[in-house]
Structure 1
């Protein structure tokens, strides 16, 4: 059994904690997720979610408080001898369906896109990995006719620095994350809306601890 404990703090909403317990049952994984809201006023079903998944095949999530089910099915086909990863996502209560696909051209280049059936919104993204360390990701929002840009670079093995800019909202974001088995996992995010008169940055931080039970 694996367990993960995540804590998050941001200036606007203070802090919070979440935990996940995962069990391996042959070809599938069983997972239970909950937050501190589950225990604040005594044990309850608040913020409790259950899921079952088979890696590379399907994921089924059930949100107990909302009584909502989310289905996700994955498959890979070959197009011109290139792998095309397809994902079908459907949220039952919201009646939302999203189709997602990623065509892997080679180890450094891939093209991905998604389409929301309910709204008709779609996005296209190109990902380029330079020397295995720097990633460039321009994204085109078809509905808004705008571009988003992101650049990330891995340093010191486990640390990743990322900068992003959304042209539609004029939000500039900076992120520092680490995913290490020895020193732990964390993420620090800062964003600022350049369209606002008072350009006050928003800060948040996340820390994750993984355990083998």
Structure 2
């Protein structure tokens, strides 16, 4: 058995969270707490428990909300291409999400996401050009609208990303830096039309 403990502090939200993960053979056991769990004495607020078999299933239990969430994953072959399927059900919300991704090759894939009973379906095509630039047009059936995203790796592991939402006419720009030595950070802004 192998255990890991991760703790993070979010300065913007003035909050902290810790996660204890234990590998027990093929299964991972995880317990997460937030500062709400220990402020004003020990409580169940912010406590979440999880059991995961990577690539097969995840069961999450939110203790204060008494909410159980199931996620099952599987991969099947369609015309010799892998189709990754995910089924997610949230007990408290009584919401079921179906997600599928068909991978044509390392540069091309198509994905679909549908929430049962909502009449909504989102479709997305992803194309990776020469391993550095990613184009992602997506279509929201319920809104009858397109969104577009383009991201590019720069300076090694840095990523610059631009998004455009046609319904809100908002352009988003984001720069993410991933440094193993000194940590990660993200800078972003959005430009859109605002009411007069």
The equivalent residue for 1:105 is: 104
Give the structure, 1 or 2, with the largest relative contact order (CA under 8 Å, sep 6 or more). Answer: 1
Matches within 5 A, 1:24-173: 24-173=23-172
1:120 Cα shift? Answer: 1.9
CA distance in 2, matches of 1:139, 1:87: 19
Q: Go from structure 1 to structure 2 and tell me whether the alpha carbon gap of 1:167 and 1:4 turns closer, same or farther (over 3 Å shift).
A: farther
RMSD over aligned CA atoms reads 1.8
Matches within 5 A, 1:164-183: 164-183=163-182
Distance in 1 (alpha carbons) for counterparts of 2:11 and 2:122:
30
1:154 Cα shift? 1.3
For residues 105 and 163 of structure 2, what CA distance do their matches in structure 1 show? 24
Structure 1 residues 32 and 186, CA, compared in 2 at 3 Å: closer, same or farther? Answer: farther
| 1:135-191 C-alpha deviation (Å, 9 max, x unpaired) | 111110000000111111112222112121222233332222233433323333433
The equivalent of 2:10 in structure 1 is 8
Give the structure 2 partner of residue 203 of structure 1.
none
1:188 equivalent in alignment to 2:187:
yes
* 1:84 match: secondary structure: strand
Give the Cα separation in 2 of the matches to 1:179 and 1:73.
30
Q: Work out the CA distance in 2 between the residues paired with 1:39 and 1:171.
A: 40
Aligned equivalents of 1:189 and 1:37: distance in 2? 29
CA separation in 2, counterparts of 1:21 and 1:172? 38
**How far apart are 1:71 and its partner, in Å?**
0.4
Q: How many residues align?
A: 194
Q: TM-score with structure 2 length normalisation?
A: 0.91
The 1:195–1:136 alpha-carbon spacing in structure 2 relative to 1, beyond 3 Å, is: same
* Cα shift at 1:9: 4.6
State the Cα distance separating 1:64 from its structure 2 match.
Answer: 0.6
Equivalent position of 1:21 in the other structure:
20
Displacement of 1:40: 2.6
